[in-house]
Structure formats: C-alpha cells, structure tokens
Amino acid sequence: MIMQNSPALVPLLLLAAAISIPVLAIKKTGVAYLAALAASLGSVVISAYNALRVWESGPLTYHFGGWNPPIGIEYVLDPLSVFVALVVNVVAFIVLCHAGGLKEREIPGKSVPYYALVLLLLCGANGMILTGDLFNLYVFLEIFSLACYGLIGIGEKQAPIASFRYLIMGTVGASFYLLGLGFIYIVTGSLNMADVRNILPHVYGNPAVTTGLALIVIGMGIKMAIFPLHGWLPDAYTYAPSTSSALIAPIGTKVAAYVILRVLFFVFDVKFVSQTLPVTDLIGWLAAIGILFGSVMAMAQNEMKRMLAYSSIAQIGYIGLGIGLANPLGFIGAVLHILNHAFMKGALFLVAANLRKNAGHSDISKLDASYRKKLPWSMAAFTLAALSMIGLPPTAGFFSKWYLALGAIDKGNWVFLGVILLSSLLNAVYFFRILEKVYLGTPSAQGAEGAPSPKSNKGEGFVAGEEEYALMIPAVVLSFSLLLLGLLNANIVKGVIQRIIPLGM
Amino acid sequence: MTDFILGHYAYWAIIFLLVLGLYGMVFKKNLAKKLIGMTIFQVAIIMFYVASAVKWAATVPVLDPAIGAVDAAKYISPLQHCLMLTAIVVGVATSGVAFSLVISIYRRYKTLDESILLERMKSS
C-alpha cells in the first residue's frame, strides 16, 4: 500500500502536516516546531526511498484517483525530478533543524503559523517538481508562492513592502505562465507533459506555440530572478527572517529553474528551443549579464544578507548559462549547480543568521578578527562555503563551473567562458573582503587564506557554549558536505546526472 | 481584415484588459491601485481561457439523450471552465494575502504611497 502510493506521499504528508499544525499546537506552541521537523524528516525519508526505487527500476508514475493520463493528473518520478526533490527536501530539513534556535529572536509569538507556512512552501515545491501535469504545476506554484509571501512578510519592519513587491511581480510571473499555458492548451488540447510532448512536433509552426513558450519562459524567469526580472529578490531576501531567507534562497529560485529546464527540454524539443527559436540563447545571454551584474552589485553591499541576495542573482545566472548552452556538458553543469548552490547558499545564509543571533547584526563593515574566536565554527563554515562559491577545486562549486566552462568551450562560446572566469574573480573579491577582516585582522593571525583552521582557534579562543550547537551544527554540516559533494562529483555526474540528459541534446 | 478584427473581438477586449492591468501595476503609485491592476490582469487571463472554450452550435457539457454521447463536437469543452474555477480560487487567495500585506504596511508606515514608502523604508 505504502509502496504503491509512495510517489504521491511527500506532498500529501507535508500538506496534511501543514493543516494539522495549528490544531496540534493549540495548547503548546512548541509542538509546532517539532511537528514541522518530523514532517520534513518524513519527506526526506520518503523522497530518498522514491529516489532509490527510481534508480533501481526506472521512472515511476502515479495516477491520481486512478484516472489515466492524459485525462487524469499524473505524478512523474524520473531521475531528474527525484534528484531535485531530494536536494530540496534535504536542504530544507537541515535549515529547519537550525530554525529552532532562532524562533524566539526572529518570529516571537508567531511560530505556529510560521511552521505551517514552511510546510506549505515545501509542499508546493515538491508538487511542482513531481507533477507531470502543466496546470497542476501552476496550482503548486501558487501554493509555493503564497507561502513565500507569508514567510517573507513576517520579518523586519520593511518586510511587508518587500513581500508586497514580490507578490506583485510573482503574480505577474505566475499569470504569464498561465497565459502561455492557455496558448499551448488551445493548440495541443492537452495539459499532460508527456502528451503535449508527443503532440507538439505536429504544430511547431503555429505562432501560438511560440507565443506560449515565450510567455512561460518570461513567467518562470520572474520566479527564477533571471537578470532583468530580478527586481524583487534583494529586498525580499534581506528583510525576511533568517530562516525564511535560508529556506527560500536555496529552494525558491531552484524550483523555478527546474521548471524552465523541464519545459524547455522535456516538454519542448531541444532542437526547437535552441535552433528554430533562439530561446536558450536568449536565456544564456541574459544569464551572462546577470552573473556580472549580481557579482558587481554584491561587491557594493555592506549588509551580509543583501550581499548574499545579489550573489544569488549571479549564481542563478550560472544555471541559466547552463540552460543557454543547451549541450550535455552545459546541462550537467546546470543540474550540478542546482545541487551545489542549494548547499552553498543554505550554509551562507545560516552563518548570516548565526551572526545576527550572536552578534546582533550581519554588517560586513563591523566584522573583525574577534569573530573568528567568537564564532569559530560558523566562520569555518562560511569560509568553506565562500571558497566553494569562488570555485576552488576540492569544493563542490568548482565542478559545476568546470562543467559549464567545458560546455562553453564545446560550443565555442568564448564570451560565456570569459564570464565564468571573470565572475569567479569577482566572487573572490567580495568573499575575501570578509575573510580578510575575520582571519587577517591581527598580526598573529594564522591560517590566512584557503585553509581556515578552526583547530588553531580551538586551543585559546573556543569556549564551549559560546556557539550554540543547534545553530552551529547545521551550518557546518551544509558547508562540509560541499567538500563531500566536490569529492564525489564524478560519481554524482556519472551515476545520476548523465542519466538525466534529455533526448536529442 | 475586417473579419479578422471582428471575429476576434473577445480577444481584443482581453488584450485591452491585460494592458490595463499591467499599466495599473507599473504606473500607479498607490499600493491598493496596484492590487486593482493585478486583479484586472488575472481576470483577463480567466476570460481568455473561457473565451477559448466557446463553440458555436454546441451545448453545455451535460449528457443530453437527444444528442447522445457520440458526437463530442455538439458539447463545449468543460475543461477550461474547471481550470478557471481553480484559477479564481488562487486569485482570491492571492488578493487575500496581498490585502493583509497592505494592511500591515499601512499600520507600520501610515501611508500606501509607493514613493513615500520607499523614502521611509530607507530612513528607518
């Protein structure tokens, strides 16, 4: 029974938990956090189980209510969707583990609705990833987005304004998607992704298909914050509570990027979107501009969360660049970067949260050498994640850039290659600015660059209890797994991502 | 040409509404007016779907013994209407969240004018 229904269990479990949290937590509000943690752990376990099943026996489908597609709604678990779902659930679980230590400071008295919204967010994200129906995707997109607006608006004084601007832009994005879907539906008469894929080759000449595709890409581009459509992102990430930014930054834009990948390469044809219409080229060039723009803006920021937000725009650009290359190496780079960036940005935002909790601010200009003693492990986690963002070899970030660079060479696109190299330098500038303050502050500083040594601090400066374990461990786990992901990257690429590469690429 | 313009009159109206909605969201300074624009935009898309389901000389999608179930062309497609029921619900939920945000903004800043808000947001 469970075996048979496991494909549909993750969104249903999260939805049921989200609805029951306000009831469970009537008497004791502390229950809300534990229930959210349990539901998130459950979703990790089930999605890992689904991933294993897909690995052993190939793609799974689940038909809701026993209605067969194309009439009924179908869930499709293929290697790409279970991979992204697993990444999203694991990162969300680690961030939720961290959230417990922040709730008194950041969301006093609001923890019950907050965790219900977190679970709704995850439900929406999982639904978007697993569904095989284009309209169902829209519904989950809106569940996801509405939860996002709430999670952002709960934050600081300016948060409702940031959230309102995101709401206006996000609704326009979702509406564009819906409008584009209408064009596709009018021409093909179907909403099921596999069915639409079969019908589309007969109608590729129809201008309505072109219009529909353009509207869908613009709509999801707003959600993904691809370069000229990124306006909502910096304020939203900066003013949201730290847990929200740590959840939304790794998950939110990735899910939209996944939808673009899915629609362009798995619903439409690779050849159609890259040669007949220059859709992928357009995304690639915008992404290249976005990478440089985001990196330069990040250098100009003094607030760590704001800097990370601009760096997110740049990192999303890498995924866009991989889509834009539309060749196997670029695709590997894009999918690998979805994984890597989720872990890197999660770790960095958790460190920013630890700074806010312990030091009361996350202002870069106020950082100094004392922080490496006050928060040795958080700073070590920050350093490792920063090195990965820059793309130094043993860390995960290097390998996604490596595949993107190979893809650019393969395509003979030297501008993209230049952008990748230049942006690594820019990343180095805005991250070393912080590392320099923290690790090179005093003349006796040891372990300057590349090798942050928490051990050297441990002897004299590390006082147990100064850093709360609940806050420190998740950040350290996320950033040290970057090392692991980097070392295992050959296995991930060969074993997982090469099986995902779409037909005809 | 005239046929093309007259034959698509519903779509011209929808395009007008879409542009009107976008205009409201982009150029109106008051947040409540931006919301009105957003709602117009959403409603235009709902009407687009409903307009696409129109079929001449067909009836409601309920089995009529006189027509029978053989000829599907005699019934209009119910799917667009069903989809739009969901989209209307989503739109209502979005407006609900948006209005609660507007209320919360007004309580904190005592204004809904975007340019004043941006100034106060920077100064605080």
Cis amide linkage into residue A70, ω under 30° from 0: yes
Give domain status of residue A180, yes or no: no
B105 has a chain A CB within 8 A of its CB: yes
Number of domains in chain A: 1
Question: CA-to-CA distance for B59 and B68, rounded, in angstroms?
Answer: 12
Q: Could you list the residue range(s) of the whole structural domain that residue B89 is in?
A: 2-123
Question: CA-to-CA distance for A182 and A150, rounded, in angstroms?
Answer: 28
* Closest CB to B101 among A138, A167, A186: A167
CB A457 within 8 A of CB A372: yes
Closest CA to A82 of A190, A4, A177, A9: A9
Check which CATH number belongs to the domain holding B37 and give it. 1.10.287.3510
**Secondary structure (3-state) at A103:** helix
Residue B89 clears pLDDT 70, i.e. is over it: yes
* Closest CB to B48 among A135, A158, A179: A179
Angle between helices B31-52 and B9-27 (to 10 degrees): 160
* Alpha-carbon distance values, A356 to A101, A308, A439, B69 (Å): 12, 14, 19, 66
Contacts of B34 in chain A (CB under 8 A): 168
Residue A85: other Cβ atoms inside 10 A: 28
**Secondary structure (3-state) at A91:** helix
**Secondary structure (3-state) at A61:** strand
CB A209 within 8 A of CB A187: yes
User: Residue A144 corresponds to which amino acid?
Assistant: F
CA atoms within 13 A on the CB side of A444: 5
Contacts of B83 in chain A (CB under 8 A): 135
Distance in Å, alpha carbon of A154 to nearest chain B alpha carbon: 9
Question: CA-to-CA distance for A216 and A259, rounded, in angstroms?
Answer: 10
Question: CA-to-CA distance for A403 and A407, rounded, in angstroms?
Answer: 6
Question: CA-to-CA distance for B35 and B103, rounded, in angstroms?
Answer: 12
Question: CA-to-CA distance for A292 and A419, rounded, in angstroms?
Answer: 7
Q: How many angstroms from the chain centroid is the CA of residue A133? A: 22
What pLDDT digit, counting tens, does each position of A212-260 carry? 999 999 999 999 988 888 888 888 898 888 888 889 988 988 999 999 9
What pLDDT digit, counting tens, does each position of B48-57 carry? 999 888 888 8
Residue A465: other Cβ atoms inside 10 A: 6
Is residue A315 classed exposed, middle or buried when 0-12, 13-18 and 19+ CB atoms within 10 A define those classes? buried
Question: CA-to-CA distance for A134 and A194, rounded, in angstroms?
Answer: 10
pLDDT of residue A396: 87
B112 has a chain A CB within 8 A of its CB: no
Distance in Å, alpha carbon of A146 to nearest chain B alpha carbon: 7
pLDDT of residue A85: 93
pLDDT of residue A461: 40
Distance in Å, alpha carbon of B105 to nearest chain A alpha carbon: 6
Question: Which residues, in sequence order, are CB contacts of B54 under 8 Å at separation 6+?
Answer: B10, B76
Q: Quick one: DSSP state of residue A360?
A: S
* Closest CB to B124 among A157, A163, A164: A157
Identify the contact set of chain A against chain B, taking CB-CB distances under 8 A: 135, 138-139, 142, 146, 149-150, 153, 157-158, 160-161, 163-164, 167-168, 171-172, 175, 178-179, 182, 185-186
- Token pair for residue B91? 């739109």
Question: CA-to-CA distance for A267 and A193, rounded, in angstroms?
Answer: 6
pLDDT of residue A442: 63
Residue B20 clears pLDDT 90, i.e. is over it: yes
Q: Model-level pTM greater than 0.80?
A: yes
Q: Quick one: DSSP state of residue A71?
A: T
Give the pLDDT band of residue B124 (cuts 50, 70, 90): low
Beta bridge partner(s), residue A59:
none
Distance in Å, alpha carbon of B98 to nearest chain A alpha carbon: 7
CB A115 within 8 A of CB A21: yes
Closest CA to A349 of A233, A460, A250: A250
Contacts of B45 in chain A (CB under 8 A): 175, 178-179, 182
Residue B111 clears pLDDT 50, i.e. is over it: yes
- Name the phi and psi angles at B59, rounded to 5: -120, 180
User: Residue B19 corresponds to which amino acid?
Assistant: V
CB pair distance less than 8 Å for A167 and B34: no
Please state the ipTM of this predicted complex: 0.93
Question: CA-to-CA distance for A455 and A348, rounded, in angstroms?
Answer: 21
Distance in Å, alpha carbon of B48 to nearest chain A alpha carbon: 8
- Name the phi and psi angles at A370, rounded to 5: -65, -20
CB A497 within 8 A of CB A335: yes
What pLDDT digit, counting tens, does each position of B96-106 carry? 999 999 999 99
User: Residue A396 corresponds to which amino acid?
Assistant: A
* Alpha-carbon distance values, A272 to A239, A442, A498 (Å): 41, 58, 22
Give domain status of residue A380, yes or no: yes
* Residue linked to tokens 């009361």: A360
Q: Show contacts of A205-209: CB within 8 Å, 24+ apart.
A: A208/A183, A208/A184, A209/A183, A209/A184
* Closest CB to B108 among A146, A157, A175: A157
Angle between helices A30-57 and A111-130 (to 10 degrees): 10
How many inter-chain contacts (A to B, CB under 8 Å) are there? 67
CB A502 within 8 A of CB A270: yes
Question: CA-to-CA distance for B73 and A307, rounded, in angstroms?
Answer: 58
Average pLDDT, chain B: 88
Contacts of B18 in chain A (CB under 8 A): 179
pLDDT of residue A168: 92
Question: CA-to-CA distance for A81 and A194, rounded, in angstroms?
Answer: 14
The residue in chain A having the minimum alpha-carbon distance to the alpha carbon of residue B113 is A161
B26 has a chain A CB within 8 A of its CB: no
Measured CA angle at B20 (ends A185, A212), to 5 deg: 20
Question: CA-to-CA distance for A270 and A252, rounded, in angstroms?
Answer: 25
Angle between helices A79-99 and A328-359 (to 10 degrees): 10
- Name the phi and psi angles at A499, rounded to 5: -75, -15
CB pair distance less than 8 Å for A182 and B94: no
* Residue linked to tokens 């965790």: A115
3-state secondary structure A223-250: HHCCHHHCCCHHHHHHHCCHHHHHHHHH
Question: CA-to-CA distance for A114 and A155, rounded, in angstroms?
Answer: 11
> Which stretches of chain A drop beneath a pLDDT of 50?
443-465
CB pair distance less than 8 Å for A139 and B102: no
B88 has a chain A CB within 8 A of its CB: no
* Closest CB to A160 among B80, B93, B105: B105
Q: Could you list the residue range(s) of the whole structural domain that residue A401 is in?
A: 278-505
The H-assigned helical ranges of A328-395 are 328-359, 371-374, 376-390
pLDDT of residue A453: 43
- Of the residues B31, B90, B107, the best mutation for testing chain A's interface (the one with the most A CB atoms within 10 Å of its CB) is B90
What's the first-to-final CA gap in chain A, in angstroms?
A: 38
CB pair distance less than 8 Å for B52 and A157: no
